[in-house]
Structure formats: structure tokens, C-alpha cells
Chain A
């Protein structure tokens, strides 16, 4: 951005005589080249930057994926994604594919791939997909989002307004399946906005259809997934405020996404820890309560502690506290640095999945001699469906405990946590079977 300051310093030195002259004169005058050491330097700086941008774009573009989710009841949800491995794993936003009964993927140039959902993180708006097909896919590498600094130049690849996957100019002419690249800078880091716990804020153009696309540094590394914008009046067009899910958060969830078998991964919290709204001048977030016997108490937290850092990052507000925790999956250990009576302590907290355990079957009275709870329907992509429970099954046992009513089923479910694995005994068409189900979270 140096050239901006140089321009500023010369603001009054150049006038525009051409603009006051007559047109005929103008035409001839306008060919006088306006070169000076100053402008020459500025142009060569821009040319060097242009060369770098073109190189990054050319290198990253082949790994870009256009994603279309065929929705129940017709219509498509469309967005962007990118390959992250030579065998065809693709990252996108969860909201691009949520509710889709099937997913179509097209790589740059338009080659079609059958696509399956590997894992979903609705709490972080990330989904991992897998393109089916042989051969080596071009792919992008995830970089270190912690190294991203405000002011850093970044690029976004995407399919805004479907300009690459539909021909918006002439209806009925084919699209060219070229992703669009926009350039801008990182405006801020560590922003908290709903499911965007620790977002990178950018000023580059991101619009509908950009969702799921990569945010790329000038080193060609992906540091985030663009997925959200601030907008007003329901216009839904770029305002210069966009948010990306940071790559370090995605990397922490990756091992869970890879084994989710199409299901969802869980976020966690420090169970039993109550913190204040924001820090005072002491520059630490006050711990205002620790539930007895809770995991927080077991980690060694005490009411009156000042929480200074979490996961190595300073904490000043409750939203930042939630934001940092939101970047870790349930089960991970987060290091907390607290100040207690002038002494600095390092505590380790294991994150516990929040919310209620989710099975995903809707009971219905079924006429049968077998005592149990009839399955009226199974929620799509739910733990029950992935475990193989089918409509018409009768649940007879839950972890060895007989189930005879919906109330009993609810009661045992209330004692389980998201992420727990349970064993269900079922009666299907007169035959008994046993299924293991890993409960989800809601």
C-alpha cells in the first residue's frame, strides 16, 4: 500500500489542463505519455503484484469446485468449494449442502463428479465432501490462519450470482465454469458472528454463490472459507464486510469430519464454567461461577479467577470466549491461563459437547405383539438413519434397558450426551437385530 502514501504527498502537484481544452486539442494531447520516475515506479509495483496475483489464481483455479445441491421439492442450492486432497476431498460451507437430497459437483472447466457428504459441521458452517472418481485431483493446501494479519492482501475464488455455472447474459447459452476471483484485504481477525466463531473479516467482493469458496493468501494458501456477509435491506449483495471460517478451526475438526460418515461433528464447551460479560481494566475475563462437581471444577477453575488467555489467545469478552471455544471440537483439551491472587496458573479444560443428544427417529404407534416404540419415520442424515434404523422398526431395548413407551425412550435419551455411543435392540419384521448408534447433538 506504499504507493497510496506517495500519491497523497503529490496531491496538488498535477493539474488537468487537458480537461479544459477543446475536444480536437484533447484528442491529440491525450497521447502525450505522462511518465516520471514516480509513476514508473508505481506501475512497476502494480505489475509485480499483478504477476503474483495471476500466478496464484492460475495455480488455485483448477482445484475450484462448483457445487449444486438438489433440494427436496425441486430447486438447487448453489455454492462454491475446493479440493483439498488428490483423492477428491472437498471443503465447502454446510449451508450450501444442507437439506440436499443429492449433490452435483463441477470442477473448473465443467467436468461433473458424483459427490457424497463425508461430514458436516453445522456449528462452524463447514462440510467435507468427497468427489467420486479415479485419478489425481488438483488440490489446495490449508495454511495457518493464525498468521493472517489485518491489511494483508487476499483473494477469493467463487461462483457469485452463479456467473460461472449459469450463463447470466443470454438465457440458454452455456456457462463457462470459470470461477470468479476478487481481491481485497483482511479487514480484521477474530470476529464473532453467530456460527462464525472466529471469523476473518475481508473487504473483497463476496456475494451469494461465493459461499464455500476459498480465501487465499498471495502465497497460494487457503486461510479460510468465505461464507457470510453483512448486508441490509435484504439486498444480499456485497457491502465490503465478509466473513470467512478460519483454516485453523477447520483443521481441528478435520479428523472428526473424516470419520463422520455423513453425520455431524460436535462443538464443545467448558461445562460448569460461568464467565462475566467483559473484562474490566484488569484485562482478564472474570470467572463468576464454577459448578460443583462439573468438568470445570475438575479442571481447577475457581470463582474469582481472571481468565487471561484461552488456547493461547487473549480473552476480553464473553463473545470472544465463546468464539475461541467454538474453534475446537468436543473432546479437545484447551489450555486456559488464569490469574488467581496475583499468581498465574495454567489449567487444562476438556471440552464437553453441549446441547441435547439427538437420535433422529420419530415414534409412531405400531400394532404389534412386540413391546417397544414403533419408528414412524427416520430423520434424513440423522444418527438413526446412518445406523440403519428404518421406518416400521420397533425399538425394544436401549443399552440393555427395555423400552416400552415413548416416555421411557425420552427419559433414557435425556441421560445421554451428544457423542455417546448406544446399543439399540430392534424388532424388524419379526426378527431381532442390534445396532450401534453414535448420538448427535442438537
Chain B
């Protein structure tokens, strides 16, 4: 019996394609917006939380932990200060420290951040589920003038092994002081990682020093030039920006963090990346909640348009209801008919919205990845998609209750006779 009603609902809905189509469009758009916000949110979280792994502590000049995390790992914002090389050596030599990678930030090359470091960076840096950096071509720094570029830098700037790179001071795309007097050569190109590493230009700490000293302390630089060796572990800059640290035992992390935070010689901060990330989520959580609430309200508006369009159609459908009653439809059938129409409209809208947002993400994923370093996921059907779909269809059916009650009231009052 009910299959007859569903069949009627389907035919009734498809018969009013224009009005129904507009309502479906409204719901599809609202679902697209809602899921889009959600996918960007989860994509950003996913992307952020997989950017660094295996690093137990990050140490930098004293600042807020979120700030240190943002500039050292995500290359967002500028370093608040520097830390001395002596402090680095102290920390690197502390008991329980397995490895320590110094990094020096603050410069750029054609809009891409320059990271001064040494070869331990390529050995120790981990991302995703403990994935190491891999070279698509070439190798790590062979001498002080070596440059290792991320996959995105290579493809955007068209660099290959042996390409010449000139560095500038500052991070703007256009720099006044390009240091063309220090031609550097690309020695390695990293495989894509989906992290800010793809958009980084890695150079030796020595080069960073040279850029900044440039002439003023030339003798210092010449001295370094004198005993170049393969690894450059020996180069001692005056200061660096931050240190990535791996511990021999996880139990030692908190102790070292406390020691660094109370280090008397210099004001330093040590952060645990996972903890700092949690703090970051707490900060952005409020904004996310606001966006989520707004997009949820947009869905609600879309759903209300179902009730609106169905209610608007009821007057012209009074006779239809009388006919259905005459051929034996019970009041429950009339009710079910309108509820199923509402649910069908909601389902069509939800389906279209889910398909649309996934298509959009498949299309823009590459662009977002290359421009913002944000991996938006594979674009497949997510559990959120399905839950949203179910909720929208259920809420849509509920939206049919109001017009259904009116239709029922009309049908009972009209009986067999409406002479419209």
C-alpha cells in the first residue's frame, strides 16, 4: 500500500520539476557549504597534524607555544627572535637527547621560505605516519653552497639539479637585496610530502650567515670557507631560530622541556608539537564552531524552503487530495504522500550537495595543495557526508509535517467536494 504512495510522491515531485528543482538547489547549495566548511576544517587539521611527527620537542626563543609551532613547523608568521648557538649546543648535548636539528628561518627565495639547516634535517625530519623525507632527485648538501628544494618549489619555479638559486633577505616575493653575489646550486629535490616542506628552500646554516653578515663580518665567512667539509656539521653560526629535538626515551621529554623553559642563560621556550597543536585547535575551535553554526543555519533555511514550497502548492492540490480520498486513500496516505515528497526533495538536495562538494574538492584539491600546502583529502565519501545526508533527509521529512497536517485538515474538511 505504501509503495503506491511513494510512487505517487515520486510522480508528483517530478511533475513539479521547476519549483521542486529550485528547492532541491537551495538544499544542495546549503549542504555543499556545510560539508565544504567541514572538509576544509578536517583537511586543515589532518594536514597540520601530519606535518610533523617523531619530533619530541621544538625549542626556540621565548614566545607563545602556538607561535613557535606555527613559524618553526608550518612556516606561518615570522620568528619572534633567535637563540644562540651556545644554547643549541647545550641542549643538543643534554642527557637523553638522541638528535637535534638546528633551523634558521627568516629569508625567502622568490616567495618561498628559506630554511637554513644541516643534513641531519633530511635524516631526522618525519611527517605523516613517521615518513622520512625522500629525494626525488639528487642528494643532501654536498658543500656549503648546496640547495635542497621541496617538490612544489621545483615544479613551480622549474628548477632542476644544478639550477642556480639566488637568495634574498626577508620574506617578500620581491626583495630589494637579492644576494646575487652568492650563486648557489640545487643539489637535491625532495619528493612531495603534502607539508610545508614542499614549499621550502633548504640551504646550509653557513649560507644564512653569509647573507646576513654580507661584507660586514667578511673575515668570519672566509674562515668558514677555508675548511669546508662534506657534512657542515661543524659550521657554527652565531644564532639560529629553532631546534627540532628527538629524545632517546619519551619519558625524558617533559624533564628536558622543563629544563629548557627554566634555562638561565637565555630566555627559551620548549614545546611538545602535539600539545601545542592541541592548544592551537582550542584557539581556532571557536572560529570553527562559528562557521559550523552558520553553515548549519544555512541548511536549516534550505530545509524551511521545503515546507514553504510544499505549503504554497497545497491550495492548487486540494482537488488532488479529494480525488485520492475518493479512490480510497486514507488520511494517513495523504499525510505520508506529503512527508515522502518532503523527504524526496531533501534527499535529492542532499545527494546533489554531497556529489557537488566532492566534485569541487577533487577539482580544487591540487590547486589548494600547491598554493596553501593544505591536503584536502582524497575527496571520497566521508562519514560526515553520510551522516549529513541522513540528518538532512530526516529533517526534510519533518519539514513535511506542517504542510502534511494542513493538507490533511483540508482533505477532511473538503470531503468529496471541492468546486474550485
- Chains A and B bind each other: no
